[in-house]
Amino acid sequence: MPVAGKKQYQSTTVRLPKKVYEKAKTVVSRTEGASSFNEFVVQAIEEKVRRLAEAEIDAAFAQMAHDPNYQHDSIALAKEFELSDWEALRSTDSPHEPSHIHAPKTRSR
């Protein structure tokens, strides 16, 4: 069983265009963003995976805009909370009392 917090690694071989490899090596040597070429590649892949996952989520949300069932359910849900939303809005319209009330100053003796 793996120890919690310890990363497991998988070795692989990657062929890169020479110019991409050289640029990446230069970036690694000039910046503190990654301590090694390997770390740089891992960070780049993690970032790309994160962006692709976000794009999938964004596409799913965009699809909801054209889904009549989702639209119907969304409108029904908004109507169910309409009264409580107005009550919450009205409660924030009243002026708030000061959070700190100063006592009158007294003369020192």
Lowest mean pLDDT among 4-13, 14-23, 47-56: 4-13
**How far is residue 73's CA from residue 79's CA, in Å, rounded to a whole number?**
10
pLDDT at 89: 86
DSSP classification of residue 17? -
Say whether 28 sits in a helix, a strand or coil.
Answer: helix
* pLDDT tens-digit readout, 45-102: 999 999 999 999 999 999 998 999 999 999 999 999 998 888 888 888 665 554 454 5
Average confidence (pLDDT) over 22-51: 94
